[in-house]
Amino acid sequence: MNKLLKDVLIATAVGLAPLSTLAQEVPNWENPEVIRVNTLPTHSTFTHYKGTNFDKKQKDLSHYQSLNGSWKFNWSQKPADRPADFHQTSFDVSGWKDIDVPSDWQRRGYGTPIYTNIIYPHPKNAPYIPHEYNPVGSYKRTFKVDKAWEGKNVFLHFAGVNSAFYVWVNGKQVGYAQGSKTGIEFDVTEYVKTGANDIAVEVYRWCDGSYLEDQDFWRLSGIERDVFLFATEKTFVRDIKLNPSLDTENYTDGLLSYSIDIQNSSAKKQKGLELQLALKDASGKTVYTTSEAVNIGKSTESVVAKHNIAVGKVDVWSAETPHLYQLDIVLKNKSGDVVDASYQKIGFRTTAVKNGQFLVNGKPVLLKGVNRHEHDPVNGHVVSRELMLQDIIDLKKYNINAVRTSHYPNDPYFYELCDQYGIYVCNEANIESHGYGYKADETLANNPMYKEQHVDRVQRMVKRDFNHPSVVYWSLGNEAGNGSNFKAAYDWAHEFDSTRVVHYERSDYKKSEPRTTDIISWMYMSMDQITKKYLNKNNQLPLEEQRPFIWCEYSHAMGNSNGNFKEYWDWVREERTIQGGFIWDWQDQGLEEKTADGEIYYAYGGDYEPDSIHNDENFCANGIIGSDRAPHPAIQEIKHIYQNQHFIHKGNQKFQLYNENFFKDLKNTKVKWELYENGVLADNGIIMNLNVKAQETVDFNLDFTNKMTADKEYFVNLYILNDGYESLLEKEYVLSSNQFLVQSANTVASVSPVVSSKLKLQEEKEEVIVEGESFKVVFDQNEIGLASYVVNGEELLKERPKLNFWRAMTDNDFGAWKAKNAKDQYYFEWRDHAKNGKVIDRKVEKEEGQYRITYTVALEAINAQNTVTYVVQSNGNIQIESELKAENPEALKFIPRYGMTFAIDKKYDTVNYYGRGPEENYIDRNNGSFVGLYTTKVADLYVPYIRPQENGHRTDVRFVKWMDVNGSGLEVDAAKTVEFNALFNPVADFDPGNEKAQRHTTDIKPRDFIYICIDDKQAGVGGENSWSKRGLAMSKYQLDPSKCKFTFTLKALNEAKDMK
């Protein structure tokens, strides 16, 4: 007999004696054979109505009662300390504090949030949980039952409780359940009474099921989702299972299958019932109706089912075209009165794997996805409906069309939003046992003791979410090994739902393990590895045996990351069976805290946990948006690469627009174009009727009425603007964009003399001074020579220029370079190589109207020299050329950057530059950052990553100015292009040393200067992962030591007219 069912029957037979004493030596929360006691079978998500007015919200229905809100609460550190008899109606809880439901009790001041990725937060000894520390939350409140509920069924619903809980109503134990991310329902008809009632809930932080909830997130606990009561008639609709599909001949004609489970809980037979179904389109027009006579015996149920009903042509559902129909379901008695009624929003669509491709409605869609944890920086795992909708809006903003519910089923409302607005969902079961590893003889995936729990968690997910068109495939879990338990779950999922494919990432790593996936999705695998291990082999198989590849996790977005993203998608768009992936992940999981003086920061692992509990530091901060939902700069690159429309420059003024959509044309958009001359808008226009069908291209010409001159640089920017295309986004929002260089300037910066006044030279052994009208430049034998730059009596250089090879380590850098690894020490030495340089030669040359001073700096540790040449012109400008000359360039690998640093007065905090922006960008993450003329503030160049690190960089910069309110300041004018940072803090402030430190944004206090880095190049940020050298930037985005050379001119700005 099924163990779960056996426990239910035993509990019922004994009249629900204290459930924890059924097997006195093993409490339910340590017994893997007890998953639920006295719970009802899982069903799809729907609301019961008394009539056919479906406009009312659930909260407004008289037969529903929310139990969200204030409860009395007690926290105990261990089970032995809990108030064991608190469920008794006579137990006085007036002295207890209040807690809001839903909430995580750690975010209300009870116990400790724990962040760990793999290592369990308790001893690894399945199924046992430590009795000396397993906090228990005791919840209690009262509620009233209306007299109108008499004679009806009354059900108690918990949408999510973490991790295991017992329930009592009016002092009597109702049941027990575990499995924290899918709903639990109890029949409390025999427990409630008209008038005041008492409910008590006892929640355990950990249970034996917690070994399957070892996800990479904050370990929190409590009643995390909605709690409510509802009443039905004795005969009611128990479950609704719908399959709106399509005729696969043309994918335009709808096929409807349904299975309606009607239950009679009375002791009388129910004859003459009628089940009526009506299918309505978006306008409310009825397109199909049917009715069925129903007779049900006493205390039993009846299933009314039909399959593949032809309903004619339909508007199909996809993430691009989320057309929904409404199916009204009405149960009437023989008198014609409504006994029960409900409705479901459904979408006609198909999913399949065919010929090695994942198909939606017969099309090989591309999944431009993210992984999404349920996270709120204040409330932990409790996410409001408002924030869920904001997530959908932001996903649409950034061209993200798919979500993997990592790593558990989400709140049911999220799926409603995905249905309504169009998001593909990879729906994942609440299974991860990473801490047990993947070995066949160790993983819980092969442990018979946990077979029932594996299958149960998949079943509850599938049965709850079956009707959602947004759910395009099921995922059995994450990082939990592979074995017989997953094979049982895989087989069950296919048997119950033949309409969807099933995914599991750990499948197909070993031939000895069972096949448990229809989609290969190996996380963080490089393109080269995929080609070798999957693509080459897959392509050799017959078409019908091939499977698609979709990364379940890729482009690890930890801190300053997401480099190389264009390369991923160039490859995806080239390979037939590679169909995208899910970025790890959507949002930083920082928890909001405040310093003593009220400054907000976001906590991560190590900020709460005692030394005795393992934590994984800031590995929970991997989002492309911050904990506060502010977008990280990388999201602009992601938006650009994920975009669904692409402009192509065909030469001269000829262009092409490609619509990458599979179902949707561009009729509700318009095209905007702009011509820029040296960063200044020279011409622009709007094209209104450029409608392009899905997967098609159209050619068009632009008329540049502005005549381009040969000595200037011209870019064309093209945009697709929203004009009703995305209902959630504002009009004219930029959906897609491309930039094209249509003409390069035919001149370069010159070193020819600029004569405006005579120069005076004073040369000493230790010092060289060049003076002109209103300026003085001083050189000495330190650093790279330049010591002072005084203009109109003001020292512009608050800190002298220095050679620099170092950047503050990013999270990806820390993942690649380990302080404890002797082989990695050479990387950390780059921090000091420039500091340890020594001037070994100085040469002063007089030229017409200018002086050339050349310094040679010996860098003995890397067997190289660096020459810096200064040309001081008579107008006060200083042209600077720096070049690295290494005897063996190939030995100088992984230089973080090559450039100079110096500091200027903080009053010059207006920044005007001509380069890529407006957001932070790096050489491997700048395709979505267009070359333009941008004006900003130094404070706004800072990017407050949750753990301070390298930030604020800009690439392809032609010039940059720092100015005060009068326009005076300093300019750097590149001969070609340079890169720069400009912040109120030096590199050292963001650099904790060779190992990470427990640092936050509150540790970065602005200083009195602006610290500037002018670089030839800085290495890309990488991001394939954040824990190995594979996470570093691709070789083409690393520095070539044989080509480290750059030239720029330093200029004083003395008047507002110098602003360009």
- Tell me, what CATH number does 315's domain have? 2.60.40.10
Burial (0-12, 13-18, 19+ Cβ within 10 Å), 413 = middle
230: amino acid identity, one letter: F
Q: Both tokens of residue 216?
A: 């990479």
**Cβ atoms < 10 Å from Cβ of 606:** 16
CA dist 87 and 870 (Å) reads: 83
Domain-embedded: residue 357: no
Active-site pick, 479, 505, 617, 713: 479
Phi, psi of 597 (to 5 degrees): -95, 15
CA dist 471 and 499 (Å) reads: 11
Phi, psi of 814 (to 5 degrees): -65, -35
Instruction: For residues 918 and 977, state if they share a domain.
Output: yes
Query: Taking the alpha carbons of 43, 45, 49, 54 in that order, is the dihedral positive or negative?
Result: negative
**Res 394 pLDDT > 70:** yes
Domain count, the chain: 5
CA dist 6 and 940 (Å) reads: 63
Instruction: For residues 1017 and 936, state if they share a domain.
Output: yes
Active-site pick, 213, 553, 771, 919: 553
Q: Are 138 and 83 in contact (CB under 8 A)?
A: yes
Taking only the tens place, the pLDDT of each residue in 95-104 is 999 999 999 9
Least confident of 79-93, 264-278, 746-760, 1031-1045: 746-760
Is 589 in a helix, a strand, or coil?
Answer: coil
Instruction: For residues 114 and 245, state if they share a domain.
Output: no
Cis peptide before 1041 (omega within 30 of 0): no
Report the pLDDT value the prediction gives residue 324, as an integer from 0 to 100: 98
Report, as an integer, the average pLDDT of 277-294: 97
Taking only the tens place, the pLDDT of each residue in 52-97 is 999 999 999 999 999 999 999 999 999 999 999 999 999 999 999 9
Q: Among 329, 313, 347, 326, which Cα is nearest to 243's?
A: 347
- Confidence bin at 2 (pLDDT 50/70/90): very low
Report the pLDDT value the prediction gives residue 1043, as an integer from 0 to 100: 96
Q: Are 138 and 202 in contact (CB under 8 A)?
A: yes
Q: Are 883 and 777 in contact (CB under 8 A)?
A: no
**Res 438 pLDDT > 90:** yes
Q: Both tokens of residue 438?
A: 């993947």
Task: Among 576, 604, 637, give the residue marking a domain's end.
Answer: 637
Q: Among 714, 719, 703, 704, which Cα is nearest to 676's?
A: 714
Burial (0-12, 13-18, 19+ Cβ within 10 Å), 862 = buried
Domain-embedded: residue 750: no
Instruction: For residues 255 and 343, state if they share a domain.
Output: yes
Tell me the chain's radius of gyration from C-alpha atoms: 33
Q: Are 795 and 789 in contact (CB under 8 A)?
A: yes
Q: Which helix (H) or strand (E) holds 12?
A: helix 3-13
What's the DSSP call for residue 54?
A: T
Q: Both tokens of residue 755?
A: 């004569």
Q: Among 1043, 1017, 1040, 1036, which Cα is nearest to 898's?
A: 1017
Report the pLDDT value the prediction gives residue 462, as an integer from 0 to 100: 98
Q: Both tokens of residue 532?
A: 């070798």
Instruction: Tell me the pairing of strands 864-873 and 36-37.
Output: unpaired
**Res 15 pLDDT > 70:** no
Report the pLDDT value the prediction gives residue 704, as an integer from 0 to 100: 85
Q: Both tokens of residue 958?
A: 């032609």
Q: Are 5 and 455 in contact (CB under 8 A)?
A: no
Predicted TM-score of the model (pTM): 0.95
Instruction: For residues 674 and 776, state if they share a domain.
Output: no
Q: Are 1026 and 858 in contact (CB under 8 A)?
A: no
CA dist 793 and 1052 (Å) reads: 12
Q: Among 349, 346, 344, 345, which Cα is nearest to 318's?
A: 349
Taking only the tens place, the pLDDT of each residue in 653-670 is 999 999 999 999 999 999
CA dist 325 and 762 (Å) reads: 86
In sequence order, what are the residues at sequence separation of 6 or more whose Cβ sits closer than 8 angstroms to the Cβ of residue 542? none
Report the pLDDT value the prediction gives residue 751, as an integer from 0 to 100: 43
Report the pLDDT value the prediction gives residue 25, as an integer from 0 to 100: 77
**Res 115 pLDDT > 50:** yes
Instruction: For residues 1000 and 1032, state if they share a domain.
Output: yes
CA dist 1038 and 1040 (Å) reads: 7
Report the pLDDT value the prediction gives residue 1057, as an integer from 0 to 100: 45
Taking only the tens place, the pLDDT of each residue in 915-925 is 999 999 999 99
Report the pLDDT value the prediction gives residue 37, as an integer from 0 to 100: 98
In sequence order, what are the residues at sequence separation of 6 or more whose Cβ sits closer than 8 angstroms to the Cβ of residue 990? 808, 948, 949, 950, 951, 1004
Domain-embedded: residue 356: no
- Confidence bin at 754 (pLDDT 50/70/90): low
CA dist 1020 and 1018 (Å) reads: 6
Taking only the tens place, the pLDDT of each residue in 562-578 is 999 999 999 999 999 99
Least confident of 214-228, 575-589, 694-708, 855-869: 694-708
CA dist 768 and 878 (Å) reads: 14
CA dist 91 and 375 (Å) reads: 35
Instruction: For residues 545 and 516, state if they share a domain.
Output: yes
Q: Are 279 and 326 in contact (CB under 8 A)?
A: yes
Helix axes 484-496 and 451-465, enclosed angle (nearest 10)? 30
Domain-embedded: residue 71: yes
Phi, psi of 641 (to 5 degrees): -75, -35
Cis peptide before 102 (omega within 30 of 0): yes
- Confidence bin at 755 (pLDDT 50/70/90): low
CA dist 447 and 436 (Å) reads: 11
Q: What is the DSSP string of 178-200?
A: E-TTS-EEEE-TTT--SEEEEEE
Report the pLDDT value the prediction gives residue 7, as an integer from 0 to 100: 41
Query: Taking the alpha carbons of 517, 522, 528, 529 in that order, is the dihedral positive or negative?
Result: negative
CA 503, distance to chain mean position in Å, is 20
Task: Among 174, 202, 232, give the residue marking a domain's end.
Answer: 232
Taking only the tens place, the pLDDT of each residue in 605-615 is 999 999 999 99
In the numeric block, the tokens 């606990």 are attached to 221
**Res 752 pLDDT > 90:** no
Q: Both tokens of residue 574?
A: 């080239």
- Tell me, what CATH number does 156's domain have? 2.60.120.260
Q: Where are the beta strands (DSSP E) in 878-968?
A: 878-886, 897-905, 910-917, 930-937, 954-963
Instruction: Tell me what percent of the residues of the chain surpass a pLDDT of 90.
Output: 94
Domain-embedded: residue 1016: yes
Q: Are 140 and 198 in contact (CB under 8 A)?
A: yes
- Tell me, what CATH number does 1039's domain have? 2.70.98.10
Report, as an integer, the average pLDDT of 852-868: 97
Q: Are 522 and 503 in contact (CB under 8 A)?
A: no
Number of H-type helices and E-type strands within the chain:
14, 57
**Res 289 pLDDT > 80:** yes
Q: Among 1031, 136, 107, which Cα is nearest to 562's?
A: 1031
Instruction: For residues 417 and 456, state if they share a domain.
Output: yes
**Start-to-end CA span in the chain (Å):** 81
Q: In what order do the strands lie in the sheet with 767-772?
A: 760-763, 767-772, 775-780, 786-791, 794-795
Taking only the tens place, the pLDDT of each residue in 894-917 is 999 999 999 999 999 999 999 999
Instruction: For residues 200 and 172, state if they share a domain.
Output: yes
Report the pLDDT value the prediction gives residue 10, as an integer from 0 to 100: 34
Domain-embedded: residue 359: no
Using the CB atoms, write b or e for 63-83: b if 16+ within 10 Å: bbbebeeebbbbbbeebeebb
Report the pLDDT value the prediction gives residue 706, as an integer from 0 to 100: 76
Task: Among 183, 198, 232, give the residue marking a domain's end.
Answer: 232
Q: Are 73 and 106 in contact (CB under 8 A)?
A: no
Report, as an integer, the average pLDDT of 379-395: 98
Taking only the tens place, the pLDDT of each residue in 177-204 is 999 999 999 999 999 999 999 999 999 9
- Confidence bin at 1055 (pLDDT 50/70/90): low
Q: Is 794 an active-site residue?
A: no
CA dist 137 and 594 (Å) reads: 26
Phi, psi of 495 (to 5 degrees): -70, -40
In sequence order, what are the residues at sequence separation of 6 or more whose Cβ sits closer than 8 angstroms to the Cβ of residue 543? 355, 356
Q: In what order do the strands lie in the sheet with 184-187?
A: 64-66, 227-232, 153-158, 184-187
Taking only the tens place, the pLDDT of each residue in 207-240 is 999 999 999 999 999 999 999 999 999 999 999 9
Cis peptide before 163 (omega within 30 of 0): yes
Q: How many Cα neighbours within 13 Å face the side chain of 28?
A: 27
Q: Are 98 and 139 in contact (CB under 8 A)?
A: no
Instruction: For residues 890 and 1007, state if they share a domain.
Output: yes
Report the pLDDT value the prediction gives residue 12, as an integer from 0 to 100: 36
Domain-embedded: residue 939: yes
Instruction: For residues 629 and 735, state if they share a domain.
Output: no
Residue numbers of the domain that contains 1009? 760-1058
Q: Is 224 an active-site residue?
A: no
For all residues of the chain together, what is the average pLDDT?
Answer: 95
Taking only the tens place, the pLDDT of each residue in 508-555 is 999 889 999 999 999 999 999 999 999 999 999 999 999 999 999 999
Q: What angle do CA 1019, 1021, 1026 make, to 5 degrees?
A: 135
Q: Are 339 and 44 in contact (CB under 8 A)?
A: no
Instruction: For residues 326 and 248, state if they share a domain.
Output: yes
Domain-embedded: residue 678: yes
Report, as an integer, the average pLDDT of 443-464: 98
In sequence order, what are the residues at sequence separation of 6 or more whose Cβ sits closer than 8 angstroms to the Cβ of residue 455? 485, 488, 489, 492
